Amino acid sequence: MKFDALNLNPLLVDAIEQCGYQQLTEVQSAVIPVALTGGDLMACAETGTGKTAAFALPLLQRLINEASESTQLRGLILTPTRELAIQVAENINRYAQFTTLKTVAVYGGANMNPQRKAINAGVDILVATPGRLFDFIGQHGLDLSGVNNLVIDEADRMLDMGFVRDIERVKSLVARTHLTHFFSATYSDEVKLLAEKMLLSPKWINVAKTRSAASVEQEVYLVDKRRKAELLSELIGRNNWQQVLVFASTKESAEHLKAELTLDGIKCGVFHGDKTQGTRNRTLEEFKSGKIRVMVATDVAARGIDIQALPLVINLELPYAAEDYIHRVGRTGRAGLTGRAISFVCPSDKKMLEEIETLIEVALPQTVLPGYELGAPLPARYRDSQGETTKKKFERRKGKPSHKGKAKSPAAKSSYASRRSNKK
């Protein structure tokens, strides 16, 4: 089905065509006609299937039909992360580009003043993370009483992050008569219970046929934990990969991998919660534009970032929660394109791998690359550096002494020289 077959305002149809959209995705075909009829709704669909347009277009249509001359806020979209708030607001502004409707995103980790000025200039739809939303309510008296359209995006993530009470509080602050639409990537019992509690006679739509994107080729590389960074560096060089999103489980692991890849001459950046929003935005833009080949991220990037035609996702480490694997993998193979996801698995990861395979109902093919067989003797540099901290290893391999006035050992010099020689 094409968008012009829907009962949408021509200004929205023109904007959609300007965005390059041709056919409705499955979730859009299922949700938009139902959402246009009004009433509460709970929709579940896989990540990367076009959920934003599914809830944004009916919302924009309702606001256009109301033809309000007031600058009072009428639509509110709650998202769990900053990146998702930014992305959703950008998409809605594109859909509304030929209308007078204005959408603003507010989120933590950024200066409130520009966001406050944007709200004061007039806003029809506010996209917000819960913490920053309540900052505006408490500090600047933001009034939600005119909001008659409420969207909860990534409801399952909202649950995971403990935002249930925030959602309940928002429901008590918006207009007494309002529509609420829940959207979620997973359909857990907890999400269902939340929807039953929050929604009034909702319509239920579930188009999540599989637990991970069928358009993504998924596989496992078995490798010693200590050699994961080495294997990644070799694969990037051997295959000339130019755009790779790598997931690490901790901020420390992400920083360590960046140091390793930098020593191998691979341009990369890190994306995690300790970085300021400005730094994260710059890193993401550099990755999208090709200035850096690798972005190493924690699960803060597993939802809410949309990288057009991202070809490859690598799990350096498996996530702590099996559901997060689905969202990591969902960064590739989006919008009808194909993608590839590789997970590096060591013996201690086997239990989590089993949980992931049970969740996605697929046994992932396993590969051992020559030279990386489990139990094979470790290269000299790993044996020489046993017990060293990441900082000491980084300093030694950069040719600096680990301690002031203390020279490198002959073994360290040999290891460093051998590594640098192999890279030339």
pLDDT of residue 333: 80
Chosen domain end from 161, 178, 206: 206
Q: Identify whether residues 356 and 409 lie together within a single domain.
A: no
pLDDT of residue 400: 45
pLDDT of residue 389: 47
Inside any domain, residue 123? yes
Q: Identify whether residues 240 and 278 lie together within a single domain.
A: yes
Q: Identify whether residues 229 and 370 lie together within a single domain.
A: yes
Q: Identify whether residues 201 and 296 lie together within a single domain.
A: no
Q: Identify whether residues 161 and 255 lie together within a single domain.
A: no
Question: Residue 201 belongs to what domain range?
Answer: 3-206
Inside any domain, residue 27? yes
In this structure, what CATH number is given to the domain that contains residue 280? 3.40.50.300
pLDDT of residue 353: 95
Q: Identify whether residues 95 and 153 lie together within a single domain.
A: yes
Cα dihedral 213, 215, 220, 225 in deg (nearest 10): -60
Q: Can you give the pTM of this predicted structure?
A: 0.66
Q: Identify whether residues 180 and 222 lie together within a single domain.
A: no
pLDDT of residue 402: 39
Give the DSSP letter string of 97-152: TTSS--EEEE-SSS-HHHHHHHHHT--SEEEE-HHHHHHHHHHH----TT--EEEE
Cα 131 from Cα 80, distance rounded (Å): 9
pLDDT of residue 220: 96
CA distances from 217 to 39, 81, 197, 310 (A): 38, 27, 38, 13
Residue-wise pLDDT for 335-357, tens only, equals: 667 889 999 999 999 999 999 99
Q: Identify whether residues 114 and 234 lie together within a single domain.
A: no
Cα 98 from Cα 88, distance rounded (Å): 17
Positions of the chain with pLDDT lower than 70, given as ranges: 47-48, 68-71, 208-214, 303-304, 335-336, 380-424
Inside any domain, residue 294? yes
Inside any domain, residue 211? no
Chosen domain end from 206, 240, 267: 206
Q: Which of 397, 124, 79 is nearest to 261 (CA)?
A: 397
Which tokens belong to 92?
């809605």
Q: Identify whether residues 199 and 136 lie together within a single domain.
A: yes
Q: Identify whether residues 270 and 321 lie together within a single domain.
A: yes
Which tokens belong to 115?
């966001």
pLDDT of residue 405: 38
pLDDT of residue 395: 54
Inside any domain, residue 424? no
Q: Identify whether residues 28 and 120 lie together within a single domain.
A: yes
The domain total for the chain is 3
Q: Identify whether residues 270 and 309 lie together within a single domain.
A: yes
Query: For the chain, first and last CA: distance in Å?
Result: 55
